[in-house]
Structure formats: C-alpha cells, structure tokens
C-alpha cells in the first residue's frame, strides 16, 4: 500500500510529523483568546491605526518577545520571529514561533480586516492537523491584533519553484505528488472541520481556504508540508457582512469566482490545488499575464484537455487529477480533497513518498541557505 494513503477512511493517513492531540469545544461567541493561559503583557502605547508607526513601538506581545521581522507578501500584516519570554536562548538561535500582526486601515473595510483576522485565529485554534500551523497565543494588546503560530523553518513553494525570479523550475513527478498529497490532506481537514455544539452534535464549519497558492504552501527543512495563511478563508463563523468575496491570489482563482457566477467552494479550492500541481510538474506559471485582468481572462479561457501533451510522462492517474480539477465547470471536478488523495495514492509516482520527502528536505535546505 502506498505511504501516501494508508486507509480509505480518513483521518488515518500517514504523515511525516507528529499529530497534535487536542479537542476544542466552541461556544457561539468566541471569547478573548490566549490558549497558553498566559496574561497579556503591557506594551508601550501606540496608535494602531498608523500602520507604519506602531510596529517599531512593540517589543513583546503577550508572553512572547518579538525578534527579527520577516518579509511578508501582504500589506495587511507584519510578521516577526517570536520567542516565549520564559525561554533563555541566544539571539542567533532559531525560533519556533511566528507573530502575525494586523495592519489596521483607516478605510471603510477596517471592520472587515479585523473580523477576518479574528476569524483566522479562530480557525487555527480549532484545527488540529500537522499540515496546518498551530495557534499558541493571540488577542488584542493596546489596540494591536496579533496571533502567535508555528514558525516553519524553510521556504515556501513559490520560492522553491522560482516564481519570484526568472529561473522557474519544475519538480520531479515524485516530489510533486508528495507535496500534493500533503497539501490535499491539509485541505481535506479544513473542508471537513466541525465542532461540537452544546447538545454534543457535530456542526460542520464549511471552511473554504480561498487562497491556495504556492506562497501559502510552507516547506520545512525536514520535508514537512504545511498549508498556511487562513486570513482569506470563509466559514459559517464569518458573517456575510464582514466577508471579502474577491479575496485570494488572482492567478490561482477558479473561473467561477473570476466571473462571479458561483461563490467559493470545495471545488474552487481544488481548482487552485490543481494549478499548483500543474506548475510543479511543468515548471512554469499556469496563469500569468501582464496584469490581473489579463490573468483572469486567461483563466476563464483555459482548456485543460490532454494535460499529458503539455506535461510529458504523466501517468494516467496524475493526468486525470490535473484535467478533472482544472475543468472550467466546478461540477466536473472531484467532490472532495479526499478523492484527490485516493487518486494520488493510486498513481505510480506515490510509491516513492518517503524518498521524495527526504529529497524535498535536501532541496529546501539548499534553497533556504
């Protein structure tokens, strides 16, 4: 049996890192949260509405000290390496934590930004999966909204594929299938996320990520694959009044979302997943034009028939996964990320999962320096 998929019944799918054991019970209203149970530590007073003034004022959030800032793709957040105040380490030692801080806006969408940030924290608090970063602390301090999550020491998939420069690269089919399997498993967990209500019945949260793209696929030096950034996600917890419908990377957005003919769904996440798989296998961007409008026009005109003609050497199973989930019609895509996992496990490229993980780890260490 393939190491990619050990059973036809989730969630008994093999992972290459430890599963965190915890059970959360949610009430209809989310209280101020700090899962570590630590008191918030006062910081110097700052104006949270001035996006470029307050980050310099902060030295700690909760019981975490802020260390070096990190590059961030979004103007709506700041990222810092962080460390618990209780840990005595030298400054050059690596950190296992990442602080994400919301950059407030004076615009009319400020309430939406705060709601989306708190919604992300709530989802991270509820998720229990090694392919999704854990929430360690969070809340609001002196008007600054923040969360502290796992720091993945490595690179993101966009960096590994060379999307930020001219030297784009493909991955071997075996490594691409390994990454796709880990990514599909994390997606499946999110899509199936549920909580126990007061009467002990399960309520499906109907989570859709809405921003599945290479920059949100995090690769560790040990070959682990995590799906990050739930800031664009939607669920039953997010009020329609606070939802930003067009959120997400336009180069990975499903045609029905581009055209506005259907809302985000499991199938739109699977389309984004298939774009990533295509790019890993082919070594170039699937939808990339001079500007966003031309990129979106390319998406709605794309024909996914016969992917093996564009990517030589694809096995029939792998070609089917690409073709079905890049279909313009969402009803013709797979029903779930778990169905993707099943098909991936049946592909001949999945037999080398453990070796692919080790090779991926070597590539990440080389890329991260």
pLDDT tens track for 200-215 = 899 999 999 999 999 9
| Averaged pLDDT, 133-146 | 94
DSSP-based three-state secondary structure for 308: helix
Tokens of 133: 């970063």
Among 154-163, 295-304, 324-333, which stretch is predicted with the lowest mean pLDDT? Answer: 295-304
- The pairing of strands 135-141 and 97-102 is unpaired
**Under CATH, domain 54-150 is a member of which superfamily?**
Phosphorylase Kinase; domain 1 (3.30.200.20)
**Can you tell me the distance from the alpha carbon of 280 to that of 47, in angstroms, rounded to the nearest whole number?**
43
The upper half-sphere exposure of residue 190, i.e. CA atoms within 13 Å in the direction of its Cβ, equals 33
Instruction: Identify the burial level of 109 via C-beta atoms within 10 angstroms of its C-beta, where 0-12 means exposed, 13-18 middle and 19 or more buried.
Output: middle
Query: Which residue, among 239, 265, 248, 255, has the nearest Cα to 337 in the 3D structure?
Result: 265
pLDDT at 92: 52
Average pLDDT, the chain: 83
pLDDT at residue 229 greater than cutoff 70: yes
The three-point CA angle 237-210-186 to 5° equals 85
Q: What kind of architecture, by CATH, is found in domain 154-368?
A: Orthogonal Bundle (1.10)
356-365 pLDDT, tens digit each: 999 999 999 9
Q: Is 60 helix (H, G, I), strand (E, B) or coil?
A: strand
Task: Give the domain ranges of the chain.
Answer: 54-150, 154-368
CA dihedral 39, 42, 48, 53 (to 10 degrees): -130
Over residues 15-42, mean pLDDT: 34
């Amino acid at each position: 049996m393939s190491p990619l998929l050990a059973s036809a019944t989730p969630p008994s799918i093999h992972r290459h890192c430890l599963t965190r054991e915890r059970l959360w019970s949610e009430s209809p209203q989310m209280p101020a949260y700090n899962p570590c149970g630590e008191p918030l530590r006062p910081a110097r007073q700052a104006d949270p509405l001035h996006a470029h003034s307050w980050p310099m004022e902060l030295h700690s959030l909760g019981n975490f000290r802020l260390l070096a800032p990190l590059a961030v793709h979004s103007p709506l957040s700041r990222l810092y390496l962080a460390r618990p105040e209780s840990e005595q380490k030298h400054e050059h030692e690596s950190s296992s934590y990442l602080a994400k801080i919301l950059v407030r806006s004076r615009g009319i969408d400020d309430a939406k930004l705060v709601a989306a940030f708190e919604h992300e924290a709530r989802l991270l608090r509820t998720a229990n999966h090694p392919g999704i970063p854990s929430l360690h602390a969070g809340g609001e301090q002196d008007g600054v909204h923040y969360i502290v999550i796992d720091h993945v020491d490595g690179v993101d998939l966009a960096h590994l594929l060379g999307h930020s420069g001219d030297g784009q690269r493909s991955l071997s089919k075996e490594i691409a299938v390994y990454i796709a399997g880990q990514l599909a498993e994390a997606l499946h967990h999110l899509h199936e996320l549920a909580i126990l209500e007061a009467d002990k019945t399960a309520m499906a949260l109907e989570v859709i990520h809405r921003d599945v793209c290479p920059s949100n696929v995090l690769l560790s030096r040990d070959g682990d694959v995590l799906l990050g950034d739930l800031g664009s996600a939607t669920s039953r917890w997010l009020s329609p009044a606070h939802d930003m419908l067009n959120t997400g990377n336009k180069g990975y957005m499903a045609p029905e979302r581009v055209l506005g003919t259907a809302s985000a769904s499991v199938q739109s996440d699977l389309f984004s997943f298939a774009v990533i798989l295509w790019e890993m296998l082919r070594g170039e961007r699937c939808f990339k034009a001079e500007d966003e409008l031309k990129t979106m026009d390319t998406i709605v005109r794309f024909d996914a028939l016969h992917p093996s003609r564009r990517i030589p050497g694809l096995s029939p199973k792998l070609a089917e996964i690409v073709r079905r989930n890049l279909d313009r019609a969402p009803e013709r895509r797979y029903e779930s990320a778990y169905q993707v996992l099943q098909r991936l496990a049946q592909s001949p490229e999945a037999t080398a999962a453990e070796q692919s993980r080790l090779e991926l780890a070597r590539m990440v260490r080389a890329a991260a320096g």
